[in-house]
Amino acid sequence: MATATATATATATATATATATATATNTTNIISIKDIIFTNELCTQLINLYNNFGENDALNYENCKPILKNIVTNNNHNIFLYIDDSNNILGALTLLLEQKFIHNGKCVAHIEDFVVKKEFRAQNIGKDLMNYAITYAQHHNCYKIILDTNSKLENYYASYGFVNKGTAMSIYFS
């Protein structure tokens, strides 16, 4: 079954609105993957979060280590984690920064792999992660944020100021 994928782009006005919202949300539980020492337990939690997301090859600790090492050493690849007071990962969002030759060298931010544990949804964790990512992108020379989504989530992303800009096309390699 084919799923239509829409590409959404946040406009400058909408992003400014989201920034005002971001300052009012709880970001004290959000940390960059680059700022923590990844224990076996945290790595296992992250693997389980993404494996339960349903769109992932089976990750395990051994194939996860080199991936995390590459991400941590790449300044343009960020994974933001929402961690509770007991060090449990409740959500994650990946933000990639792509510097453009045009647009005076500014960046495009790409949101990927945005997930919150099912039992913690509707508790503003996703909202906090999204607002954090929007603010981060604004402060890192981005002129827009893009993401791919399905039509079911279009209104959710529109609530942050994203605007449907058409259909994304992809080639998937096995």
Is pTM beyond 0.95? Reply is: no
172 domain-assigned: no
pLDDT interval class at 7 (50, 70, 90): very low
What was the pLDDT predicted at 92?
95
**CATH code of the domain in which 118 resides:** 3.40.630.30
Q: How many domains does one find in the chain?
A: 1
Query: Is the sign of the CA dihedral 144, 51, 86, 61 positive or negative?
Result: negative
Q: What is the C-alpha to C-alpha distance for residues 80 and 82, in angstroms, rounded to an integer? A: 7
CB burial readout 34-61, b (16+ within 10 A) else e:
eeeeeeeebbebbbebbeeeeeeeebee
For residue range 10-65, list pLDDT tens digits in order.
Answer: 433 333 333 333 334 566 688 888 787 777 788 888 888 988 876 656 677 788 88
* Closest of 152, 99, 118, 126 to residue 48, by C-alpha: 118
Taking 50 as the threshold, does the pLDDT of residue 6 lie above it?
no
Query: Phi and psi dihedrals of 131, rounded to 5?
Result: -65, -35
123 domain-assigned: yes
173 domain-assigned: no
What was the pLDDT predicted at 108?
96
Query: Phi and psi dihedrals of 45, rounded to 5?
Result: -60, -45
For residue range 94-126, list pLDDT tens digits in order.
Answer: 999 999 999 999 999 999 999 999 999 999 999
Is the CB of residue 149 less than 8 Å from the CB of residue 8? yes
Is the CB of residue 14 less than 8 Å from the CB of residue 59? no
Range of the domain at 11: 5-167
Taking 60 as the threshold, does the pLDDT of residue 5 lie above it?
no
154 domain-assigned: yes
What was the pLDDT predicted at 8?
40
174 domain-assigned: no
Taking 50 as the threshold, does the pLDDT of residue 9 lie above it?
no
- Tokens 């800009």 identify what position? 165
